[in-house]
A and B are shown apart, each in its own frame.
Chain A
Amino acid sequence: MQLNSAAPFCEQTPLQASPPRTSQSGIAAAVCLSSLAMIGFDAAATETPVSAAQVLEEGTQQVEDKGLLARLIDGWEIDAALLWYREDARVQAIEGVLSGVRALSDSESVSAKIVLDSLSGASASGAAAQQRLQTFTRPSGKGEYQVAAGETPLDDTFKDTRLSLSAGWQKTLDSATKVNAGVYGSKEFDYLSLGMSGGIEWGFFKDNTTVSLSGALGFDVFDAVGGRPVPLSTMAIRKDFADEEAFWQAFDATRQRGVGDKRIGEMMLGVTQIISKSTLVQFNYGLGYSSGYLNDPYKLVSVLDSSGNATHYLYESRPDSRLKQSAFVLGKTAFNLGVAEYSYRFTHDDWGLDSHTLEGRYRHYFSGKKGPYLQLHLRAYRQYGVDFFTPYLQGGESVAPHISADYRIGDMDTWTLGLKTGWRLKDGDEIAVRLEYYRQQPRGDAASLEGLKGLELYPELNAAMLQLNYSWN
């Protein structure tokens, strides 16, 4: 407790004489009398006031009888979700999410989230398909895998489990200002990511306009299996070497010491404007900068001879910094029994990647807002790949300082079609089911090389996802 001896008081003015006051209905007098009766109640317990510590102690003793789980989730609004994701012949993922919000007071709340992902399957390594069998060294150097003729080379050792934890805090300072802060951490086998964020929101013009400013800092550490490849070095393959020792010497020469790290800084400025009773628009501008190790250590680029056959493979090389900008506009309209949301996003970065996203959602309520609903989701995305994207290199050409054949940063179009439905159970809990179909179509020039005839250089990808949600209210 702080004791402050206070500053001197200013000269007191005498109280002004007031006109006589009379109550017309006696409500105030009745409220006053009733309040005095309430305050004057006196149970023996409060004659010697119980200390809060004592009350809390007694309270905790009572709580001890409850199960640990019940104690942990008391006062939290808990939301659980399970998601299955499956790509045709490639990656499968199962994700479990548990999130909760707890109000501390009318103006303050905390939130927490746990996400567990389990991925398995294979993702394209960037090497080009061939008309004959191809052999690749595993990232650890221990062993190799083969890809059949005509198949897109996939890195088949793709298995990972990721655990992410995040926590947030939100507080309303006054009727026009809200602040929030959060921390985040995730760990997977070869990757650790840590971050923190903070934001503030101001309301203007009777809150018809809201301005928000937020920022985030992140730090990632990449501890790749078998060490990080030296960018642009040639993959060592066992059959090219006389003995095991020579191979390992060559393999080690393609590896860098130590872990790679990446630092990320992001900021976002947003304005939300109410247009009418049922419509609002939102504009966001975002700026993100990352620097450090930005390569994917498992991605390759094939080097082809003049007839299109692979002679060797290089590890990809990306710049060590990236500046991204994004502009986003969203509209939201409420109807009698539904809500529509439509948005456009443009992103641009200094690697030369530009993207355009058009997205729309319409949710229809069959009865009130808490009743069952059906939601339709459509999304179209077009990406113009980075300047240094190349599906393969041709032998004899000089190699640029930065190259990547990672389809994810090449030219592509994707479409998403989704349906979601949800309803409320008798006891107030809510269930939702979401089913989405996703199609990805990389774009690129047809190959003119003999050896690539009839091969799929830009394989399409189809995926489906099913998500179940349950909220305890």
Chain B
Amino acid sequence: MQNQARSDGICRVRFTAMASDCELLFAGTTPEEGTQPWLDSLARVGTDEVRRIEVKFSRYLADSELSRINAGAGAELNIDAETAGLLQFAADCYRLSGGLFDITVAPLQRLWGFGYSETLPPTNADIHAALERIGFERLRIFEDQGSWRLFLPAGMSLDFGGIAKEYAADRALLLLERQARALGLDVAVLVNLGGDIAASRYPWRIGVEAIGAESHSDMLKAAASGLIEFPGGGLATSGDTKRFVLVEGKRIGHILSPKTGYPVPDAPRSVTVLAPSASAAGMLSTMAMLKGEGAEAFLGGEGLVHLVQR
């Protein structure tokens, strides 16, 4: 995504986190051009929060909180309030999607082998074996004298891949706005983590990459310049842009149905949704992908501003 700046100045801070190119934009009353100390301190608050969430919930860091939880499968574990909050959100989404959105789907994803040279699809027997180790309803999350506890059955594991990045964008925005208020600054902030965006209310305009001819959009109109109006809140895209499964050398979407164990048929190439928060936008775009051919009907029925590319 690219951003244009207003003549009254938009300051941009670029950084890398969560294996994505990220940026923070500050718009509004900008003091002198250059390296204002307030901007540095603001930027640090945002990047630190994103990195904190990354090291806490990454699957790829062996000493992350998530790795600790997964290593403790089969026993009851203490979890902190933040992790409990994410699990609560995951539980709501599991229920609201009728079981299609499930953060315990990792065994299935491993079976379909992302991005590596798996050349043959798994057999039915493999899929059945994997499905036996999946199912959010088998988790137990409960509060016990003010502290949260989680029971993760043996053989199961959690993956916050579908939540963490959008959550980090929302959290960074929240802390940035808080910090800006504390400093007495009147700025609008936009946090962009590799295309998952959370922003203050402000008439942003965002460049969207490669809108195909086959896109179906309700209200989210791209101008000829490729710019769209974004009033703030959250914007997120789910799709197979960088993640897919190779089956017999053929790439199929990374959206797997935890019900069938197979990739969702007729899933769109990508779904972009606008919502009040990046987490909600990300979740609703994922749910739309999981609906397969019913993606547009779902988004339209929910009255969401969206863009579907097939």
On A, residues with C-beta under 8 Å from B are 1-10, 12-13, 15, 18, 21-25, 27-28, 30-32, 34-41, 43, 46, 49-52, 55-56, 59-60, 62-63, 74-75, 101, 103-109, 170, 172-175, 178, 203, 206-208, 210, 272, 274, 277-278, 280, 332, 334, 336-337, 339, 365, 367-371
Q: Which A residue sits closest to B14, measured CB to CB?
A: A2
Known interface pairs A3-B35, A207-B251, A365-B123. Does A38 touch B14 (Cβ–Cβ under 8 Å)?
no
Residues of B within 8 Å of A46, CB to CB, are 49, 52, 82, 171, 175
A-B interface, 4 closest residue pairs, ranked by CB to CB distance from nearest: A6-B5, A368-B125, A52-B51, A74-B62
Whether B10 contacts A6 by the Cβ 8 Å rule is yes
Residues of B within 8 Å of A365, CB to CB, are 123
**Among residues 165 to 212 in chain B, which have CB atoms less than 8 Å away from a CB atom of chain A?**
167, 170-171, 174-175, 203, 205
Query: A178–B114 Cα gap in the complex (Å)?
Result: 13
Whether A31 contacts B93 by the Cβ 8 Å rule is yes
Whether B81 contacts A35 by the Cβ 8 Å rule is no
Which residue of the partner chain, among B6, B54, B219, B277, contacts A35 with CB atoms under 8 Å? B277
Whether B129 contacts A368 by the Cβ 8 Å rule is yes
Whether B82 contacts A280 by the Cβ 8 Å rule is no
Q: Which B residue sits closest to A428, measured CB to CB?
A: B155
Whether A43 contacts B126 by the Cβ 8 Å rule is no
Known interface pairs A35-B170, A37-B88, A75-B61. Does A6 touch B9 (Cβ–Cβ under 8 Å)?
yes
Known interface pairs A15-B229, A52-B48. Does A34 touch B122 (Cβ–Cβ under 8 Å)?
no
Whether B123 contacts A280 by the Cβ 8 Å rule is no
Query: A60–B64 Cα gap in the complex (Å)?
Result: 10
Whether B229 contacts A39 by the Cβ 8 Å rule is no
Which residue of the partner chain, among A4, A35, A50, A59, contacts B279 with CB atoms under 8 Å? A35
Whether A274 contacts B280 by the Cβ 8 Å rule is no
Chain A nearest CB, measured from B199 CB (Å): 14
Chain A nearest CB, measured from B124 CB (Å): 7
Residues of A within 8 Å of B129, CB to CB, are 368, 370
Residues of B within 8 Å of A278, CB to CB, are 248
Q: Which A residue sits closest to B121, measured CB to CB?
A: A334
Whether B205 contacts A12 by the Cβ 8 Å rule is yes
Whether A43 contacts B125 by the Cβ 8 Å rule is no
Q: Which A residue sits closest to B210, measured CB to CB?
A: A174
Q: Which A residue sits closest to B12, measured CB to CB?
A: A4
Residues of B within 8 Å of A370, CB to CB, are 111, 122, 126, 129
Residues of B within 8 Å of A27, CB to CB, are 96-97, 287, 302
Q: List 24 A-B contacts (CB under 8 A).
A: A1-B13, A1-B43, A3-B12, A6-B9, A13-B229, A23-B302, A23-B303, A31-B280, A32-B277, A37-B85, A38-B167, A39-B170, A41-B81, A41-B82, A55-B52, A56-B55, A75-B60, A173-B242, A207-B249, A277-B248, A280-B119, A368-B126, A369-B125, A370-B126
Q: Which A residue sits closest to B68, measured CB to CB?
A: A62
Residues of B within 8 Å of A337, CB to CB, are 123
Q: Which B residue sits closest to A8, measured CB to CB?
A: B7
Whether A172 contacts B115 by the Cβ 8 Å rule is yes
Whether A49 contacts B49 by the Cβ 8 Å rule is yes
Known interface pairs A105-B19, A365-B123. Does A24 touch B302 (Cβ–Cβ under 8 Å)?
yes
Contact pattern, B 46-90, Cβ under 8 Å of A = 1, otherwise 0: 011101101110001111100000000000000011100110110
Whether A5 contacts B33 by the Cβ 8 Å rule is yes
Whether A106 contacts B277 by the Cβ 8 Å rule is no
Q: Which B residue sits closest to A106, measured CB to CB?
A: B243
Whether B301 contacts A52 by the Cβ 8 Å rule is no
Total number of residue pairs linking A and B with CB closer than 8 Å: 246
Q: Which A residue sits closest to B17, measured CB to CB?
A: A52
Whether A28 contacts B303 by the Cβ 8 Å rule is yes
Residues of B within 8 Å of A55, CB to CB, are 51-52, 55-56
Residues of A within 8 Å of B18, CB to CB, are 105
Which residue of the partner chain, among B6, B49, B62, B123, contacts A368 with CB atoms under 8 Å? B123
Known interface pairs A52-B54, A175-B244, A370-B126. Does A7 touch B61 (Cβ–Cβ under 8 Å)?
no
Which residue of the partner chain, among B39, B45, B275, B279, contacts A38 with CB atoms under 8 Å? B279
Whether A39 contacts B167 by the Cβ 8 Å rule is yes
The count of chain B contact residues (Cβ–Cβ below 8 Å) is: 96
**Among residues 84 to 128 in chain B, which have CB atoms less than 8 Å away from a CB atom of chain A?**
85-86, 88-89, 92-93, 96-97, 111, 114-116, 119-126, 128
Residues of B within 8 Å of A109, CB to CB, are 115-116
Residues of A within 8 Å of B283, CB to CB, are 31, 35
Q: Which of B14, B18, B96, B205 has the most CB of A within 10 A?
A: B96
Q: Which A residue sits closest to B233, measured CB to CB?
A: A32
Given A13-B223, A370-B126; 17 other pairs, CB 8 A cutoff = A4-B11, A5-B5, A6-B5, A34-B280, A37-B85, A40-B174, A52-B48, A52-B54, A55-B55, A55-B56, A75-B60, A106-B114, A172-B244, A174-B241, A206-B250, A368-B125, A368-B129
Residues of A within 8 Å of B61, CB to CB, are 59, 75
Whether B303 contacts A5 by the Cβ 8 Å rule is no
Known interface pairs A28-B280, A30-B96, A107-B243. Does A332 touch B119 (Cβ–Cβ under 8 Å)?
yes
Whether B279 contacts A39 by the Cβ 8 Å rule is yes
Whether A175 contacts B241 by the Cβ 8 Å rule is yes
Query: A343–B5 Cα gap in the complex (Å)?
Result: 57
Which residue of the partner chain, among A10, A18, A274, A336, contacts B250 with CB atoms under 8 Å? A274
Which residue of the partner chain, among A101, A106, A371, contacts B161 with CB atoms under 8 Å? A106
Query: A212–B27 Cα gap in the complex (Å)?
Result: 45
Chain A nearest CB, measured from B64 CB (Å): 8
Q: Which B residue sits closest to A44, measured CB to CB?
A: B81
Contact pattern, B 230-260, Cβ under 8 Å of A = 1, otherwise 0: 0100000000111110001111001000000
Query: A369–B64 Cα gap in the complex (Å)?
Result: 31
Whether B4 contacts A10 by the Cβ 8 Å rule is yes
- Check: B215 CB closer than 8 A to any chain A CB: no
Q: Which of B35, B123, B129 has the most CB of A within 10 A?
A: B123
- Check: B295 CB closer than 8 A to any chain A CB: no
Query: A15–B80 Cα gap in the complex (Å)?
Result: 43
- Check: B284 CB closer than 8 A to any chain A CB: yes
Whether A369 contacts B62 by the Cβ 8 Å rule is no
Whether A34 contacts B88 by the Cβ 8 Å rule is yes
Chain B nearest CB, measured from A228 CB (Å): 41
Query: A265–B243 Cα gap in the complex (Å)?
Result: 33
Which residue of the partner chain, among B64, B231, B240, contacts A15 with CB atoms under 8 Å? B231
Query: A317–B117 Cα gap in the complex (Å)?
Result: 42
Q: Which A residue sits closest to B128, measured CB to CB?
A: A368
Whether B7 contacts A108 by the Cβ 8 Å rule is no
Chain B nearest CB, measured from A23 CB (Å): 5
- Check: B3 CB closer than 8 A to any chain A CB: yes
- Check: B34 CB closer than 8 A to any chain A CB: yes
Residues of A within 8 Å of B80, CB to CB, are 43
- Check: B31 CB closer than 8 A to any chain A CB: no
Q: Which A residue sits closest to B246, measured CB to CB?
A: A207
Which residue of the partner chain, among B88, B241, B251, B301, contacts A24 with CB atoms under 8 Å? B301
- Check: B304 CB closer than 8 A to any chain A CB: yes
- Check: B145 CB closer than 8 A to any chain A CB: no
Residues of B within 8 Å of A52, CB to CB, are 47-48, 51-52, 54-55
